[in-house]
């Protein structure tokens, strides 16, 4: 706690009432219910959108992945728009929460695009690589002209992004799309405080994992519930820290957002440098005074969230132009 930098007012307020949760003793169903129940106030303005729940079949066995399709209310009914697949974070174990629909609505309305909020299967009921393959199936589905035409978006203009675990999955999908020679390329990656390493001895992990939202025990809980075996920690598709430079060359442009008091901060910024070394177009921004999850956790909603979304929408508009 003594190593924390000066925090934003909403971060200070949340820290003062933050309960200590032992993830290893609370049933996963209780954790998920609590996680999903925290709503973002309706008083916080957002663009008007339509939301349609669909199910997307996986490439491997055809089982269905729920997804919410956000479309600007101002768009013409048959207007062809670009699209973004968004993968919500939650340590691979927890569902989307109150801030995720807000992010999807803001991006959809302000970029004038379709946003596909994908609800991939959670751990520990399934383990790596199930979520990766599901998310790849969603992206593959979105870049298929037959599917895109039914929902009036352009399969050649599809970006992908996510927060925390969802950002890690986004990186994995970008690499798989390259390896598998997917015809329609990913236009852009949006990575909010990505989880890159299974274990990291970075300064931010040492300074910000005690008494904070994302403790060392919580990180270990998510990790141990996600992987199938210890060897997964060395798998580059499971954890992007294992990717070689050759894997990174030719990836789509990237926007990375990190939080100053987030244990995952340093690994996101190290990854940004690795992308730059691989000659990938990358922009990396550190938001000062914020904690892990500041974009998606409703009590942490602040002006900083709006600034990050402004950067996101600007990057996507340029990518889609």
Nearest to 108 by CA among 195, 49, 176: 49
Catalytic residue among 262, 266, 284, 301: 262
Catalytic residue among 35, 188, 292, 301: 292
Give yes or no: 262 in active site: yes
Give yes or no: 35 in active site: no
Give yes or no: 164 in active site: yes
Catalytic residue among 11, 137, 164, 284: 164
Catalytic residues: 164, 262, 292
């Amino acid at each position: 706690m003594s190593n924390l930098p000066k925090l934003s007012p909403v971060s200070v307020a949340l820290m003062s009432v933050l309960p200590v949760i032992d993830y290893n003793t609370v049933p996963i169903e209780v954790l998920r219910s609590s996680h999903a129940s925290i709503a973002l106030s309706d008083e916080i303005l957002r663009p008007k959108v339509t939301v349609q729940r669909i199910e997307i079949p996986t490439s491997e066995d055809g089982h269905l992945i729920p997804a919410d399709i956000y479309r600007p209310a101002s768009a013409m009914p048959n207007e062809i728009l670009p699209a973004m697949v968004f993968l919500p974070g939650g340590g691979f174990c927890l569902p989307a929460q109150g801030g995720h629909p807000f992010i999807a609505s803001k991006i959809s309305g302000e970029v004038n695009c379709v946003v596909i909020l994908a609800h991939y299967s959670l751990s520990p009921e399934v383990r790596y690589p199930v979520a990766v393959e599901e998310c790849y199936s969603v992206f593959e589905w979105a870049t298929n002209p037959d599917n895109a035409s039914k929902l009036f978006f352009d399969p050649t203009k599809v970006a992908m992004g996510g927060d925390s675990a969802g950002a890690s999955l986004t990186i994995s999908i970008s690499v798989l799309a390259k390896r598998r020679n997917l015809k329609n390329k990913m236009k852009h990656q949006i990575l909010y405080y990505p989880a890159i390493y299974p274990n990291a001895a970075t300064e931010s992990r040492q300074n910000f994992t005690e008494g904070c939202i994302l403790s060392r025990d919580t990180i270990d809980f998510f990790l141990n519930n996600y992987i199938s075996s210890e060897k997964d920690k060395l798998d580059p598709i499971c954890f992007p820290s294992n990717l070689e430079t050759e894997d990174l060359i030719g990836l789509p442009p990237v926007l990375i957002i990190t939080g100053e008091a987030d244990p995952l901060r340093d690994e996101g910024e190290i990854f940004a440098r690795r992308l730059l070394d691989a000659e990938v177009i990358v922009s990396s921004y550190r938001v000062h005074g914020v904690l892990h999850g500041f974009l998606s956790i409703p009590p942490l909603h602040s002006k900083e969230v709006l600034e990050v979304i402004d950067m996101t929408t600007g990057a996507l508009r340029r990518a889609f132009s």
